[in-house]
Amino acid sequence: MKYFNVVWIFVLIGFVNDVFASSKNNPDSVTVINELDFSNFSANLDSLMNLWFVQNSFTKDSNLLVGDYENKSLPSKYPDSVYIERLSRIPSIIPLSYNRFVRNYIHVYTEKKKDMLETMLGLAQYYFPLIEEVLDYNNLPVELKYMAVIESALNPRAVSRVGATGMWQFMYGTGRAYGLTINSLVDERRDPLMATKAAANYLKDLYNIYNDWILVIAAYNCGPGNVNKAIRRTGGKRDYWDIYYYLPRETRGYVPAYIAATYAMNFYPMHGLRPQPIDLPLTTDTLIVHENLHLKQVSEVLHIPLKELRDLNPQYRRDIIPGKSKPFTLRLPLQYSVEFIDFQDSIFAYKDSIYFNPANKISNPTRSKYVHQPPTGKVKLYYTVRSGDNLGYIAEWYHVRLSDLRYWNGIRRNTIRVGQKLVVYIPPSKTEQYKKINSMTFTEKQRSIGKSVSIVSQNTQPAPASKDASKYVYYKVRYGDTVWDIAKKYPGVTDQDILNINDLSHKDKIHPGQQIKIKPKD
């Protein structure tokens, strides 16, 4: 009896070994499918749904909710021969093999996660052109763009449980090694453009090692060390399906998931799916910022929703662009780029003493932000706006910043009205001096700061008629004007002519609403 048991033990061991060996050579024969761990993928999808432009898309038109337009006449699944034929029609230099693993992932994308697939299809209209341009510039297969689908669900803010971040899921060390800036304020792993450039360089380096795109894709997921170990354990075999069972569990599903994502992103109409319209501007402009800038400054001056700015610029962890350290980019909807250029002085000055004042910074190791509060150690005064006043004048009279005056009074542009009471904060020691300003005439206020009154303010009556009055015209300054710009409007007039006539120097500033005397040339 004991002999019989021993024999059967050896028979069973041989049977298991034969099955295992067969499964390595023929993945289709495996009954139990070792699937990719979808916990990261699901978490990325959940995070994706919190993006402003995704949420805004769903709330903007409830008639476009996923599932309302599903084509019920199309089958949910197709025979293997159909999948094989369709994969063969996709233009790709990367081999798109088909087996049970790939089929399972196709069903995940087109059935289990079809609502999310439709969202990713909508995002692809924005992100794929950007990714394709970078891949093409680096002479890489453009079909590598589908890696971003399985890496992050096209979510630039995706973070895995081990800390891999961004659309291309870079770990900290790898991101720094490929030139991405990562610090307390900026994380370029979350910048779709910069991260794609880094990913392209990483993929090129991996291809130089393996000369096989499938192995490159596997190595991108688990690292070249794990792929090299799997190659050594198989006696030097370099085919992905030969080393399949020696790779980490998650990587075994990574390549099949890539092939399935490639299929789903190309043949989604055959499964009754269509891209979810995403309220993300397809045309944007990128500006280079050389000064420190807070996204709230841009949001409040240009009236762009802050959440939209954050989603267009996800690399800025605390809404701060530290442009003084080195030039950084600001991505805006195209229609706002010209307006930003026109109003950039006001944008950078808007509440700058609040956003970039170290005294107003909360010391918190987990969350650093800037708070909006009245200045401490100051006395509050009120100034009543009169005809002819503008914010530039008032700021000069009280020796305060124009941006502070706007902030204290909740003024976004330069518009004020006669009779409006403005709050001004001044040093306690100068209270009596500044109290007098509210009762002074315009001429007295200008003289108090050492200025002449040759520049007539916005609502001031024209100068009295004289025998020379017909020789002059008065130009009302607009936002963004310079003396040189104004001079160009009058043939023969130079900027120095205007300075001389108005008793100005090159250091003097002009303000919107002011009227400048000009003597046109005959």
Concatenated DSSP letters of 399-448: T--HHHHHHHHT-SSS---TT-EEEEEE-GGGHHHHHGGGGS-HHHHHHH
Kindly report the CA angle at 151 between 145 and 152, in degrees rounded to 5?
100
pLDDT at 30: 36
332-346 in b/e form (b: 16+ CB < 10 A) is bbeebbeebeebbeb
What is the CB neighbour count within 10 angstroms for residue 411?
16
H or E stretch covering 233: helix 224-233
199 with 188: CB under 8 angstroms? no
Rg (CA), the chain: 33
Q: Which of 288, 305, 265 is nearest to 51 (CA)?
A: 305
Give the Cα separation of 224 and 265 in Å (integer).
Answer: 28
Cα of first residue to Cα of last residue in the chain, in angstroms, is 126
What single DSSP character describes residue 4?
Answer: H
Closest CA to 93 of 217, 220, 227, 234: 217
For the chain (522 residues), the mean pLDDT of every run of 10, in chain order, is 37 34 38 44 53 49 42 73 95 94 92 87 91 96 95 89 90 92 93 96 95 95 93 93 90 92 94 84 87 93 90 93 92 90 87 72 40 66 85 87 78 73 88 88 84 46 46 77 77 79 71 79 66
Axis crossing angle, helix 192-210 with helix 224-233, rounded to the nearest 10: 20
CA distance linking residue 387 with residue 417, whole number of Å: 8
| Tokens read off for 351 | 């509440």
What residue ranges of the chain are covered by domains with CATH 1.10.530.10?
Answer: 37-271
Cα 195 to Cα 171: distance, rounded to the nearest angstrom: 11
CA 284 to chain centre: 11
The angle subtended at Cα 80 by Cα 76 and Cα 82, nearest 5°, is 75
Give the count of beta carbons closer than 10 Å to the beta carbon of residue 402. Answer: 21
What the block records as the tokens of 16 is 């298991």
Angle (deg, nearest 10), helices 334-342 and 295-302: 90
pLDDT at 266: 95
Tell me the C-alpha to C-alpha distance, in Å, between residue 368 and each of 258, 298, 307: 39, 20, 18
CATH class of 379-448: alpha beta
**What is the model's pLDDT at position 85?**
95
Of 152, 159, 150, 206, which is closest to residue 178 (Cα–Cα)?
Answer: 206
The per-residue pLDDT for 202 is: 96
Task: Please name the residue that has the structure tokens 């490929």.
Answer: 178
The dihedrals phi and psi of 328, each to the nearest 5 degrees, come to -125, 165
How many whole angstroms separate alpha carbon 518 and alpha carbon 493?
Answer: 8
Cα–Cα distance, 220 to 198 (Å, whole number): 12
The ranges of the chain annotated as CATH 3.10.350.10 are 379-448, 469-518
Q: Which of 24, 324, 331 is nearest to 185 (CA)?
A: 324
Beta pairing partners, 507: none
Q: Determine the pLDDT at residue 94.
A: 95
Taking residue 494's Cβ as centre, other Cβ atoms within 10 Å add up to 14
CATH class of the domain defined by 469-518? alpha beta
Residues recorded for the chain: 522
Task: Answer for the pair 453, 514: CB distance below 8 angstroms, yes or no.
Answer: no
Q: What is the pLDDT of residue 9?
A: 35
CA-CA-CA-CA dihedral for 363, 368, 370, 373, to nearest 10:
-50
Name the H helices within 26-113.
39-48, 52-60, 80-89, 100-107
SS3 state of residue 165: strand
Token digits of residue 271: 């499964």
Of 390, 357, 391, residue with least CA distance to 374: 357
DSSP 473: E
| Cα 380-381-385 angle, rounded to 5 deg | 140
Fold of 37-271: Lysozyme (1.10.530)
User: Whole-angstrom Cα distance, residue 330 to residue 321?
Assistant: 8
For the packed helices 213-222 and 224-233, what is the interaxial angle rounded to 10 degrees? 120
Q: What are phi and psi of 456, to 5 degrees?
A: -90, 130
Give the contacts of 187 (CB within 8 A, at least 6 positions apart).
165, 166, 180, 181, 315, 317
